[in-house]
Structure 1
Amino acid sequence: MDTLFWAMVVLSAVAGIAAEPAPSPMVRLFLVAGGTLTLIAMVVFQIMLRRYRPVPYWITVVMTSLVGASVANSLGPALAASLGGGLLLLGLIAWLLFERPSSALEVRTVRQESVYWVVVFAALVLGTGMRQLLSVTAHLGSLSSSIVFAAVVALSVIAYSFFRVPASAAFWWAFVGVIPLAGAVAELIAIAAGGAAAAKLTVGLLALVALAVLVVIDSGRNRRRAARGM
Protein backbone atom coordinates (compact mmCIF):
# COMPACT_ATOMS: atom_id res chain seq x y z
CA MET A 1 0.00 0.00 0.00
CA ASP A 2 1.22 3.50 -0.75
CA THR A 3 1.38 6.70 1.27
CA LEU A 4 -1.96 7.96 -0.03
CA PHE A 5 -3.77 4.85 1.22
CA TRP A 6 -2.30 5.13 4.71
CA ALA A 7 -3.02 8.86 4.85
CA MET A 8 -6.67 8.08 4.13
CA VAL A 9 -6.70 5.33 6.77
CA VAL A 10 -5.39 7.84 9.32
CA LEU A 11 -7.99 10.46 8.37
CA SER A 12 -10.78 7.87 8.52
CA ALA A 13 -9.69 6.85 12.01
CA VAL A 14 -9.49 10.49 13.09
CA ALA A 15 -13.03 11.02 11.79
CA GLY A 16 -14.17 8.40 14.30
CA ILE A 17 -13.29 10.77 17.13
CA ALA A 18 -16.30 12.85 16.06
CA ALA A 19 -18.54 10.07 17.41
CA GLU A 20 -16.97 10.13 20.88
CA PRO A 21 -18.57 13.21 22.45
CA ALA A 22 -22.11 11.70 22.36
CA PRO A 23 -23.81 13.51 25.27
CA SER A 24 -26.24 10.78 26.34
CA PRO A 25 -26.82 7.01 26.16
CA MET A 26 -29.79 7.60 23.84
CA VAL A 27 -27.64 9.51 21.37
CA ARG A 28 -24.99 6.78 21.50
CA LEU A 29 -27.70 4.16 20.91
CA PHE A 30 -28.97 6.13 17.91
CA LEU A 31 -25.44 6.42 16.51
CA VAL A 32 -24.78 2.71 16.94
CA ALA A 33 -28.15 1.56 15.55
CA GLY A 34 -28.35 4.00 12.65
CA GLY A 35 -24.68 3.71 11.86
CA THR A 36 -24.78 -0.09 11.91
CA LEU A 37 -27.67 -0.23 9.43
CA THR A 38 -25.89 2.21 7.13
CA LEU A 39 -22.64 0.28 7.49
CA ILE A 40 -24.30 -3.03 6.60
CA ALA A 41 -25.84 -1.43 3.51
CA MET A 42 -22.47 -0.01 2.45
CA VAL A 43 -20.67 -3.33 2.98
CA VAL A 44 -23.29 -5.15 0.89
CA PHE A 45 -22.85 -2.50 -1.81
CA GLN A 46 -19.08 -2.95 -1.64
CA ILE A 47 -19.43 -6.70 -2.08
CA MET A 48 -21.69 -6.16 -5.10
CA LEU A 49 -19.09 -3.90 -6.75
CA ARG A 50 -16.45 -6.67 -6.70
CA ARG A 51 -13.66 -4.14 -7.30
CA TYR A 52 -12.01 -1.16 -5.65
CA ARG A 53 -13.95 2.09 -6.10
CA PRO A 54 -12.51 4.91 -3.97
CA VAL A 55 -15.73 6.79 -3.11
CA PRO A 56 -17.90 3.90 -1.82
CA TYR A 57 -14.88 2.19 -0.28
CA TRP A 58 -13.85 5.18 1.85
CA ILE A 59 -17.44 6.00 2.78
CA THR A 60 -17.62 2.45 4.12
CA VAL A 61 -14.35 2.88 6.01
CA VAL A 62 -15.58 6.13 7.60
CA MET A 63 -18.87 4.50 8.59
CA THR A 64 -16.90 1.60 10.09
CA SER A 65 -14.79 4.11 12.02
CA LEU A 66 -17.82 5.98 13.36
CA VAL A 67 -19.71 2.82 14.31
CA GLY A 68 -16.60 1.21 15.77
CA ALA A 69 -15.89 4.27 17.93
CA SER A 70 -19.54 4.43 19.05
CA VAL A 71 -19.58 0.73 19.97
CA ALA A 72 -16.28 1.03 21.85
CA ASN A 73 -17.53 4.05 23.80
CA SER A 74 -20.76 2.27 24.67
CA LEU A 75 -18.94 -0.86 25.88
CA GLY A 76 -16.19 0.92 27.80
CA PRO A 77 -12.42 0.62 27.20
CA ALA A 78 -11.79 -2.79 28.80
CA LEU A 79 -14.75 -4.59 27.23
CA ALA A 80 -14.18 -2.92 23.86
CA ALA A 81 -10.54 -4.00 23.83
CA SER A 82 -11.45 -7.56 24.85
CA LEU A 83 -14.30 -8.06 22.38
CA GLY A 84 -12.53 -6.17 19.60
CA GLY A 85 -9.36 -8.18 20.18
CA GLY A 86 -11.23 -11.49 20.16
CA LEU A 87 -13.11 -10.67 16.97
CA LEU A 88 -9.92 -9.38 15.38
CA LEU A 89 -8.06 -12.58 16.24
CA LEU A 90 -10.77 -14.74 14.66
CA GLY A 91 -10.88 -12.54 11.58
CA LEU A 92 -7.10 -12.53 11.16
CA ILE A 93 -6.91 -16.31 11.54
CA ALA A 94 -9.49 -16.65 8.77
CA TRP A 95 -7.66 -14.08 6.64
CA LEU A 96 -4.20 -15.60 7.03
CA LEU A 97 -5.35 -19.22 6.68
CA PHE A 98 -7.84 -18.94 3.86
CA GLU A 99 -7.19 -15.62 2.10
CA ARG A 100 -4.06 -14.29 0.45
CA PRO A 101 -4.63 -10.58 -0.42
CA SER A 102 -2.49 -8.21 1.62
CA SER A 103 -4.68 -5.14 1.09
CA ALA A 104 -8.04 -3.74 0.06
CA LEU A 105 -7.04 -3.32 -3.57
CA GLU A 106 -6.50 -7.06 -3.94
CA VAL A 107 -9.81 -8.19 -2.41
CA ARG A 108 -11.88 -9.92 -5.06
CA THR A 109 -14.30 -12.55 -3.67
CA VAL A 110 -17.37 -12.27 -1.43
CA ARG A 111 -15.62 -14.22 1.31
CA GLN A 112 -12.58 -11.96 1.14
CA GLU A 113 -14.78 -8.85 1.35
CA SER A 114 -16.71 -10.27 4.32
CA VAL A 115 -13.59 -11.22 6.27
CA TYR A 116 -11.92 -7.92 5.35
CA TRP A 117 -14.70 -5.75 6.80
CA VAL A 118 -15.00 -7.88 9.93
CA VAL A 119 -11.28 -7.37 10.56
CA VAL A 120 -11.48 -3.63 9.83
CA PHE A 121 -14.41 -3.20 12.24
CA ALA A 122 -12.71 -5.27 14.95
CA ALA A 123 -9.48 -3.29 14.54
CA LEU A 124 -11.36 -0.02 15.01
CA VAL A 125 -13.17 -1.25 18.14
CA LEU A 126 -9.92 -2.67 19.55
CA GLY A 127 -7.97 0.45 18.63
CA THR A 128 -10.44 2.79 20.30
CA GLY A 129 -10.57 0.60 23.41
CA MET A 130 -6.78 0.31 23.66
CA ARG A 131 -6.30 4.04 23.17
CA GLN A 132 -8.74 4.80 25.98
CA LEU A 133 -7.21 2.12 28.21
CA LEU A 134 -3.72 3.56 27.85
CA SER A 135 -4.52 7.27 27.83
CA VAL A 136 -7.32 7.33 30.42
CA THR A 137 -7.45 4.13 32.48
CA ALA A 138 -3.67 3.69 32.68
CA HIS A 139 -3.20 7.49 32.92
CA LEU A 140 -0.52 7.57 30.22
CA GLY A 141 -2.16 10.47 28.44
CA SER A 142 -2.53 11.01 24.71
CA LEU A 143 1.13 11.91 24.08
CA SER A 144 2.60 8.79 25.69
CA SER A 145 -0.08 6.65 24.06
CA SER A 146 0.84 8.13 20.68
CA ILE A 147 4.46 7.14 21.21
CA VAL A 148 3.48 3.57 22.15
CA PHE A 149 1.27 3.11 19.08
CA ALA A 150 3.85 4.77 16.82
CA ALA A 151 6.35 2.17 18.04
CA VAL A 152 3.88 -0.61 17.15
CA VAL A 153 3.57 0.74 13.60
CA ALA A 154 7.33 1.21 13.28
CA LEU A 155 7.91 -2.39 14.35
CA SER A 156 5.57 -3.61 11.60
CA VAL A 157 7.61 -1.70 9.01
CA ILE A 158 10.88 -3.08 10.39
CA ALA A 159 9.50 -6.63 10.50
CA TYR A 160 8.36 -6.42 6.87
CA SER A 161 11.46 -4.67 5.57
CA PHE A 162 14.21 -6.60 7.36
CA PHE A 163 12.74 -9.86 8.68
CA ARG A 164 10.59 -10.90 5.71
CA VAL A 165 7.31 -10.96 7.60
CA PRO A 166 4.58 -11.80 5.03
CA ALA A 167 2.95 -8.77 3.41
CA SER A 168 -0.52 -9.76 4.62
CA ALA A 169 0.61 -10.05 8.26
CA ALA A 170 2.57 -6.79 8.06
CA PHE A 171 -0.41 -4.98 6.53
CA TRP A 172 -2.78 -5.93 9.36
CA TRP A 173 -0.10 -5.35 11.99
CA ALA A 174 0.36 -1.80 10.71
CA PHE A 175 -3.39 -1.28 10.31
CA VAL A 176 -4.13 -2.28 13.91
CA GLY A 177 -1.42 0.10 15.14
CA VAL A 178 -2.38 3.03 12.92
CA ILE A 179 -5.98 3.16 14.20
CA PRO A 180 -5.23 4.00 17.87
CA LEU A 181 -2.22 6.11 16.82
CA ALA A 182 -4.45 8.31 14.67
CA GLY A 183 -7.01 8.57 17.46
CA ALA A 184 -4.39 9.50 20.05
CA VAL A 185 -2.91 12.20 17.81
CA ALA A 186 -6.41 13.53 17.11
CA GLU A 187 -7.04 13.71 20.85
CA LEU A 188 -3.82 15.68 21.29
CA ILE A 189 -5.01 18.17 18.69
CA ALA A 190 -8.45 18.38 20.31
CA ILE A 191 -6.86 18.95 23.74
CA ALA A 192 -4.70 21.72 22.30
CA ALA A 193 -7.88 23.29 20.90
CA GLY A 194 -9.61 23.22 24.28
CA GLY A 195 -10.44 19.56 24.78
CA ALA A 196 -14.20 20.06 24.73
CA ALA A 197 -16.68 17.94 22.79
CA ALA A 198 -16.89 20.69 20.19
CA ALA A 199 -13.12 20.48 19.64
CA LYS A 200 -13.30 16.73 19.01
CA LEU A 201 -16.20 17.22 16.62
CA THR A 202 -14.26 19.91 14.76
CA VAL A 203 -11.18 17.68 14.45
CA GLY A 204 -13.35 14.86 13.11
CA LEU A 205 -15.07 17.08 10.57
CA LEU A 206 -11.77 18.57 9.36
CA ALA A 207 -10.47 15.04 8.89
CA LEU A 208 -13.52 14.25 6.75
CA VAL A 209 -12.86 17.30 4.57
CA ALA A 210 -9.21 16.33 4.11
CA LEU A 211 -10.25 12.75 3.37
CA ALA A 212 -12.70 13.93 0.71
CA VAL A 213 -9.86 15.77 -1.05
CA LEU A 214 -7.66 12.67 -1.02
CA VAL A 215 -10.52 10.49 -2.26
CA VAL A 216 -10.92 12.81 -5.27
CA ILE A 217 -7.19 12.42 -5.97
CA ASP A 218 -7.39 8.66 -5.55
CA SER A 219 -10.43 8.46 -7.84
CA GLY A 220 -8.50 10.18 -10.62
CA ARG A 221 -5.58 7.86 -10.12
CA ASN A 222 -7.89 4.84 -10.12
CA ARG A 223 -9.44 5.93 -13.43
CA ARG A 224 -6.00 6.29 -14.99
CA ARG A 225 -5.01 2.88 -13.69
CA ALA A 226 -8.18 1.34 -15.15
CA ALA A 227 -7.55 3.06 -18.50
CA ARG A 228 -4.12 1.45 -18.65
CA GLY A 229 -5.70 -1.91 -17.92
CA MET A 230 -3.89 -2.31 -14.60
Structure 2
Amino acid sequence: MTEPNRLRANKVPEPTPSFWTIKVLATTVGETAADLLATSLHLGTQLTSIVMAALFLVVLALQFRSRRYVPWLYWLTVVLISVVGTLITDNLTDGLGVPLAVSTTVFAVALIATFAVWFAVERTLSIHEIVTPRREAFYWLAILFTFALGTAAGDLLAEQLNLGYLASVGVFAGAIALVAVAHFVFRLNAVVAFWIAYVLTRPLGASLGDLLSQPVDSGGLGLGTIVTSVLFLLAIVALVVFLTSSRRGRSRTLSVDAPSRQVGLD
Protein backbone atom coordinates (compact mmCIF):
# COMPACT_ATOMS: atom_id res chain seq x y z
CA MET A 1 0.00 0.00 0.00
CA THR A 2 1.22 3.49 -0.84
CA GLU A 3 1.98 5.61 2.20
CA PRO A 4 -0.13 8.81 2.39
CA ASN A 5 2.81 11.21 2.24
CA ARG A 6 5.16 9.20 0.07
CA LEU A 7 6.98 11.30 -2.50
CA ARG A 8 6.34 10.25 -6.08
CA ALA A 9 7.58 11.52 -9.42
CA ASN A 10 5.24 13.48 -11.64
CA LYS A 11 4.55 11.61 -14.91
CA VAL A 12 4.20 14.74 -17.08
CA PRO A 13 7.03 17.07 -18.17
CA GLU A 14 7.20 20.74 -17.31
CA PRO A 15 5.45 22.97 -19.92
CA THR A 16 8.67 24.57 -21.17
CA PRO A 17 9.20 25.93 -24.73
CA SER A 18 10.52 22.51 -25.74
CA PHE A 19 7.29 20.95 -24.44
CA TRP A 20 5.15 23.18 -26.65
CA THR A 21 7.46 22.69 -29.64
CA ILE A 22 7.25 18.90 -29.45
CA LYS A 23 3.49 19.13 -28.85
CA VAL A 24 2.98 21.04 -32.11
CA LEU A 25 5.32 18.66 -33.97
CA ALA A 26 3.45 15.65 -32.57
CA THR A 27 0.14 17.19 -33.55
CA THR A 28 1.38 17.74 -37.10
CA VAL A 29 2.54 14.12 -37.29
CA GLY A 30 -0.88 13.06 -36.03
CA GLU A 31 -2.49 14.79 -39.01
CA THR A 32 -0.05 13.73 -41.72
CA ALA A 33 0.52 10.18 -40.45
CA ALA A 34 -3.22 9.51 -40.33
CA ASP A 35 -3.54 10.71 -43.94
CA LEU A 36 -0.45 8.74 -44.97
CA LEU A 37 -1.69 5.45 -43.55
CA ALA A 38 -5.34 5.79 -44.53
CA THR A 39 -4.94 7.33 -47.97
CA SER A 40 -1.41 7.12 -49.36
CA LEU A 41 -0.88 3.51 -48.17
CA HIS A 42 -4.52 2.63 -48.95
CA LEU A 43 -5.22 1.06 -45.57
CA GLY A 44 -8.47 2.93 -45.22
CA THR A 45 -9.68 4.88 -42.23
CA GLN A 46 -11.21 1.92 -40.36
CA LEU A 47 -8.21 -0.43 -40.63
CA THR A 48 -5.82 2.39 -39.80
CA SER A 49 -7.93 3.22 -36.76
CA ILE A 50 -7.83 -0.37 -35.49
CA VAL A 51 -4.07 -0.72 -35.97
CA MET A 52 -3.21 2.64 -34.42
CA ALA A 53 -5.63 2.18 -31.51
CA ALA A 54 -4.08 -1.19 -30.67
CA LEU A 55 -0.56 0.26 -30.85
CA PHE A 56 -1.60 3.22 -28.74
CA LEU A 57 -3.10 1.00 -26.03
CA VAL A 58 0.12 -1.03 -25.81
CA VAL A 59 2.26 2.09 -25.44
CA LEU A 60 -0.21 3.65 -23.01
CA ALA A 61 0.03 0.54 -20.83
CA LEU A 62 3.81 0.93 -20.80
CA GLN A 63 3.40 4.59 -19.89
CA PHE A 64 1.18 3.66 -16.93
CA ARG A 65 3.66 1.01 -15.77
CA SER A 66 6.48 3.53 -15.70
CA ARG A 67 6.95 5.11 -12.28
CA ARG A 68 8.43 8.34 -13.58
CA TYR A 69 8.52 10.63 -16.60
CA VAL A 70 10.42 8.90 -19.42
CA PRO A 71 10.77 11.34 -22.36
CA TRP A 72 10.69 8.86 -25.25
CA LEU A 73 7.77 6.90 -23.78
CA TYR A 74 5.74 9.96 -22.86
CA TRP A 75 6.14 11.61 -26.27
CA LEU A 76 5.53 8.38 -28.17
CA THR A 77 2.24 8.18 -26.28
CA VAL A 78 1.42 11.76 -27.29
CA VAL A 79 2.21 11.09 -30.98
CA LEU A 80 0.02 7.99 -31.01
CA ILE A 81 -2.87 9.63 -29.17
CA SER A 82 -2.63 12.46 -31.69
CA VAL A 83 -3.12 9.98 -34.53
CA VAL A 84 -5.95 8.20 -32.72
CA GLY A 85 -7.72 11.46 -31.86
CA THR A 86 -7.52 12.54 -35.50
CA LEU A 87 -8.89 9.19 -36.69
CA ILE A 88 -11.82 9.32 -34.25
CA THR A 89 -12.99 12.58 -35.78
CA ASP A 90 -12.29 11.36 -39.33
CA ASN A 91 -14.37 8.22 -38.72
CA LEU A 92 -17.27 10.25 -37.39
CA THR A 93 -17.13 12.78 -40.22
CA ASP A 94 -16.23 10.67 -43.24
CA GLY A 95 -17.50 7.27 -42.15
CA LEU A 96 -20.69 8.08 -40.28
CA GLY A 97 -21.49 11.48 -41.77
CA VAL A 98 -21.64 13.27 -38.42
CA PRO A 99 -21.57 17.05 -39.03
CA LEU A 100 -18.46 18.79 -37.75
CA ALA A 101 -20.59 21.17 -35.68
CA VAL A 102 -22.08 18.18 -33.86
CA SER A 103 -18.76 16.41 -33.25
CA THR A 104 -17.16 19.67 -32.10
CA THR A 105 -19.97 20.19 -29.59
CA VAL A 106 -19.88 16.58 -28.38
CA PHE A 107 -16.11 16.59 -27.85
CA ALA A 108 -16.26 19.98 -26.11
CA VAL A 109 -18.91 18.67 -23.70
CA ALA A 110 -16.92 15.45 -23.16
CA LEU A 111 -13.77 17.45 -22.35
CA ILE A 112 -15.63 19.74 -19.95
CA ALA A 113 -17.22 16.72 -18.27
CA THR A 114 -13.80 15.08 -17.91
CA PHE A 115 -12.41 18.21 -16.28
CA ALA A 116 -15.44 18.46 -13.98
CA VAL A 117 -15.15 14.88 -12.74
CA TRP A 118 -11.35 15.13 -12.51
CA PHE A 119 -11.57 18.25 -10.35
CA ALA A 120 -14.40 16.87 -8.24
CA VAL A 121 -12.37 13.76 -7.44
CA GLU A 122 -8.84 15.18 -7.22
CA ARG A 123 -9.41 18.91 -6.49
CA THR A 124 -6.81 19.84 -9.09
CA LEU A 125 -6.34 19.88 -12.87
CA SER A 126 -2.66 20.72 -12.60
CA ILE A 127 -0.27 18.80 -14.85
CA HIS A 128 2.35 19.29 -12.13
CA GLU A 129 0.50 16.80 -9.96
CA ILE A 130 0.04 13.70 -12.14
CA VAL A 131 1.38 11.44 -9.41
CA THR A 132 -1.21 8.64 -9.18
CA PRO A 133 -2.66 6.21 -11.73
CA ARG A 134 -6.11 7.78 -11.34
CA ARG A 135 -4.83 11.27 -12.06
CA GLU A 136 -2.88 9.95 -15.02
CA ALA A 137 -6.04 8.26 -16.35
CA PHE A 138 -7.91 11.57 -16.16
CA TYR A 139 -4.96 13.29 -17.84
CA TRP A 140 -4.80 10.97 -20.85
CA LEU A 141 -8.58 10.97 -21.28
CA ALA A 142 -8.51 14.77 -21.36
CA ILE A 143 -5.62 14.68 -23.85
CA LEU A 144 -7.60 12.35 -26.13
CA PHE A 145 -10.58 14.69 -26.12
CA THR A 146 -8.37 17.75 -26.77
CA PHE A 147 -7.04 16.09 -29.93
CA ALA A 148 -10.48 15.01 -31.13
CA LEU A 149 -11.95 18.43 -30.31
CA GLY A 150 -9.07 20.29 -31.94
CA THR A 151 -9.44 18.21 -35.10
CA ALA A 152 -13.20 18.76 -35.34
CA ALA A 153 -13.06 22.48 -34.49
CA GLY A 154 -10.14 23.09 -36.85
CA ASP A 155 -11.88 21.32 -39.74
CA LEU A 156 -15.10 23.15 -38.97
CA LEU A 157 -13.42 26.56 -39.14
CA ALA A 158 -11.41 25.63 -42.23
CA GLU A 159 -14.51 24.48 -44.13
CA GLN A 160 -16.75 27.34 -43.04
CA LEU A 161 -14.25 30.17 -43.41
CA ASN A 162 -12.19 28.62 -46.24
CA LEU A 163 -9.12 30.47 -44.98
CA GLY A 164 -6.46 28.37 -46.62
CA TYR A 165 -3.62 26.59 -44.84
CA LEU A 166 -1.25 29.52 -44.32
CA ALA A 167 -3.98 31.83 -43.00
CA SER A 168 -5.21 29.05 -40.70
CA VAL A 169 -1.70 28.67 -39.24
CA GLY A 170 -1.68 32.41 -38.57
CA VAL A 171 -5.14 32.39 -36.96
CA PHE A 172 -4.40 29.55 -34.54
CA ALA A 173 -0.90 30.82 -33.74
CA GLY A 174 -2.44 34.21 -33.01
CA ALA A 175 -5.07 32.64 -30.77
CA ILE A 176 -2.36 30.87 -28.76
CA ALA A 177 -0.45 34.14 -28.49
CA LEU A 178 -3.58 35.81 -27.11
CA VAL A 179 -3.90 33.08 -24.48
CA ALA A 180 -0.26 33.64 -23.49
CA VAL A 181 -0.88 37.39 -23.19
CA ALA A 182 -4.03 36.76 -21.16
CA HIS A 183 -2.03 34.61 -18.75
CA PHE A 184 1.21 36.53 -18.42
CA VAL A 185 -0.24 40.06 -18.62
CA PHE A 186 -3.83 39.80 -17.39
CA ARG A 187 -3.28 36.86 -15.00
CA LEU A 188 -5.64 34.37 -16.60
CA ASN A 189 -5.68 31.26 -14.41
CA ALA A 190 -2.65 29.19 -15.37
CA VAL A 191 -4.45 25.85 -15.52
CA VAL A 192 -7.20 27.31 -17.72
CA ALA A 193 -4.63 28.96 -19.98
CA PHE A 194 -2.65 25.74 -20.32
CA TRP A 195 -5.62 23.64 -21.40
CA ILE A 196 -6.95 26.26 -23.84
CA ALA A 197 -3.50 26.47 -25.43
CA TYR A 198 -3.28 22.68 -25.51
CA VAL A 199 -6.53 22.44 -27.47
CA LEU A 200 -5.46 25.20 -29.88
CA THR A 201 -2.14 23.51 -30.72
CA ARG A 202 -4.12 20.69 -32.38
CA PRO A 203 -5.62 22.77 -35.23
CA LEU A 204 -2.36 24.74 -35.42
CA GLY A 205 -0.35 21.57 -36.00
CA ALA A 206 -2.95 20.18 -38.42
CA SER A 207 -2.93 23.39 -40.48
CA LEU A 208 0.88 23.37 -40.51
CA GLY A 209 0.89 19.74 -41.64
CA ASP A 210 -1.58 20.47 -44.43
CA LEU A 211 0.39 23.54 -45.49
CA LEU A 212 3.55 21.46 -45.91
CA SER A 213 2.07 18.25 -47.29
CA GLN A 214 -0.74 19.29 -49.61
CA PRO A 215 -0.18 19.94 -53.36
CA VAL A 216 0.76 23.43 -54.50
CA ASP A 217 -2.43 23.81 -56.53
CA SER A 218 -4.39 23.14 -53.33
CA GLY A 219 -2.57 25.84 -51.37
CA GLY A 220 0.16 23.68 -49.85
CA LEU A 221 3.91 23.43 -50.40
CA GLY A 222 3.72 20.00 -52.00
CA LEU A 223 6.10 18.09 -49.71
CA GLY A 224 3.67 15.19 -49.38
CA THR A 225 2.61 13.27 -46.28
CA ILE A 226 5.63 10.96 -46.29
CA VAL A 227 8.26 13.70 -46.35
CA THR A 228 6.36 15.87 -43.87
CA SER A 229 5.80 12.99 -41.44
CA VAL A 230 9.44 11.88 -41.61
CA LEU A 231 10.78 15.42 -41.14
CA PHE A 232 8.63 16.08 -38.11
CA LEU A 233 9.29 12.67 -36.59
CA LEU A 234 13.04 13.27 -36.93
CA ALA A 235 12.61 16.67 -35.27
CA ILE A 236 10.69 15.06 -32.40
CA VAL A 237 13.35 12.36 -31.97
CA ALA A 238 16.11 14.97 -31.93
CA LEU A 239 14.35 17.04 -29.27
CA VAL A 240 13.52 14.01 -27.14
CA VAL A 241 17.14 12.83 -27.31
CA PHE A 242 18.24 16.31 -26.26
CA LEU A 243 15.78 16.37 -23.34
CA THR A 244 16.88 12.91 -22.25
CA SER A 245 20.59 13.69 -22.38
CA SER A 246 20.26 17.13 -20.80
CA ARG A 247 17.61 16.03 -18.27
CA ARG A 248 15.65 19.19 -19.01
CA GLY A 249 11.88 19.42 -18.67
CA ARG A 250 11.72 16.88 -15.86
CA SER A 251 8.91 17.37 -13.38
CA ARG A 252 9.18 17.82 -9.68
CA THR A 253 8.73 15.05 -7.15
CA LEU A 254 5.97 15.75 -4.66
CA SER A 255 3.64 14.16 -2.17
CA VAL A 256 0.48 12.54 -3.45
CA ASP A 257 -1.36 14.43 -0.74
CA ALA A 258 0.43 17.73 -1.35
CA PRO A 259 -1.98 20.69 -1.58
CA SER A 260 -2.97 21.77 -5.08
CA ARG A 261 -1.49 24.97 -6.41
CA GLN A 262 -1.74 27.21 -9.41
CA VAL A 263 0.85 26.49 -12.08
CA GLY A 264 2.40 28.57 -14.81
CA LEU A 265 2.96 27.96 -18.49
CA ASP A 266 6.68 28.51 -18.27
Is TM > 0.5 for Structure 1 vs Structure 2? yes
Change (3 A) 1:225 1:84: closer
Q: Give matches, 1:124-135, under 5 Å.
A: 124-135=147-158
1:30 correspondence with 2:47? yes
2:124 alignment counterpart: 100
In the alignment of these two chains, the number of paired residues is 228
Task: Give the structure-1-normalised TM-score.
Answer: 0.86
Higher relative helix content: 1
Pick from 198, 218, 232 the counterpart of residue 207 of structure 1.
232
Q: Deviations over 1:182-222 (max 9, x none)?
A: 11122112236675997123212211111011110111233
1:6 correspondence with 2:20? yes
Distance in 2 (CA, whole Å) between partners of 1:65 and 1:225 is: 22
8 Å Cα contact 1:4/1:214 also seen in 2: yes
- By relative contact order (CA 8 Å, sep 6+), the higher-ranking structure is 2
Task: Give the structure-2-normalised TM-score.
Answer: 0.75
Question: Alignment partner of 2:214: what SS?
Answer: helix
Aligned residues: percent identity? 30
Distance in 2 (CA, whole Å) between partners of 1:27 and 1:198 is: 22
Comparing 92-101 and 183-192, the one that deviates more: 92-101
AA of the residue aligned to 1:75:
L
8 Å Cα contact 1:35/1:66 also seen in 2: yes
Change (3 A) 1:223 1:143: closer
4+ residue stretches of structure 1 with deviation over 6 A?
223-226
Distance in 1 (CA, whole Å) between partners of 2:108 and 2:166 is: 23
8 Å Cα contact 1:87/1:122 also seen in 2: yes
2:180 alignment counterpart: 157
8 Å Cα contact 2:212/2:223 also seen in 1: no
1:75 alignment counterpart: 92
8 Å Cα contact 1:102/1:171 also seen in 2: no
Pick from 19, 23, 29 the counterpart of residue 15 of structure 1.
29
1:180 correspondence with 2:203? yes
RMSD: 2.8
Gaps in structure 2 of 5+ consecutive residues: 1-14, 94-99, 255-266
AA of the residue aligned to 1:20:
D
